[in-house]
Amino acid sequence: MYPHGVRGVKSVLRVLLAALVGAAGVAHFVTPGFFVSIMPAALPWHLELVYLSGVFELLGALGLLIPATRRAAAWGVLALFIAVYPANINHALHPETSATPDAAPWVLWLRVALQLLLFAWAYWMTRPDAPEPS
């Protein structure tokens, strides 16, 4: 099982993940044009999918904060991270088509790599919490 300190770290990281996912959800409604611009052309309904992913990000963020839903929400957040991964790869491959055409290629590829850490982070949140120490 987890040492006592890991439980506290996991709680803090759960709240931080919820804050990041929630902020991303809000961004999908505040600046949808950026998200539309990085989507692969093969996908239909770009704006609708941006809004839909924003809704799911907000629900996931809220769900991470509620004990009864946090594990299911973490699975949902992980699925969402995987679902939007092609847009981040598309952005790195085709920055000229995005709302940030002058972004440094290494920054875009770093973002692609760092998203793997988000996968791991969300996955860790799907795991049961350690029992209370006795």
116 pLDDT more than 90:
yes
The average confidence (pLDDT) of the chain is 92
Number of domains comprising the chain: 1
- The residue-averaged pLDDT of 6-15 equals 90
Secondary structure of residue 130 in the 3-state scheme: coil
Phi, psi angle pair for 55, to nearest 5°: -60, -45
pLDDT tens column, 65-86: 999 999 999 999 999 999 999 9
Burial class of residue 62 in the structure, from the number of CB atoms within 10 Å of its CB (0-12 exposed, 13-18 middle, 19+ buried): middle
Nearest to 118 by CA among 83, 78, 87: 78
Structure tokens belonging to residue 126: 């799907």
Q: How far apart are CA 98 and CA 37, in angstroms?
A: 5
State the pTM of this model.
0.89
pLDDT for residue 1? 46
Does residue 133 sit within a domain? Answer: no
Does residue 131 sit within a domain? Answer: no
pLDDT tens column, 19-52: 999 999 999 999 999 999 999 999 999 999 999 9
Does residue 44 sit within a domain? Answer: yes
- The answer to whether 127 and 6 are in contact (CB under 8 A) is no
Does residue 66 sit within a domain? Answer: yes
Cβ-Cβ contacts under 8 Å for 107 (sequence gap 6 or more): none
Domain that residue 58 falls in = 4-126
- The answer to whether 21 and 28 are in contact (CB under 8 A) is no
Does residue 134 sit within a domain? Answer: no
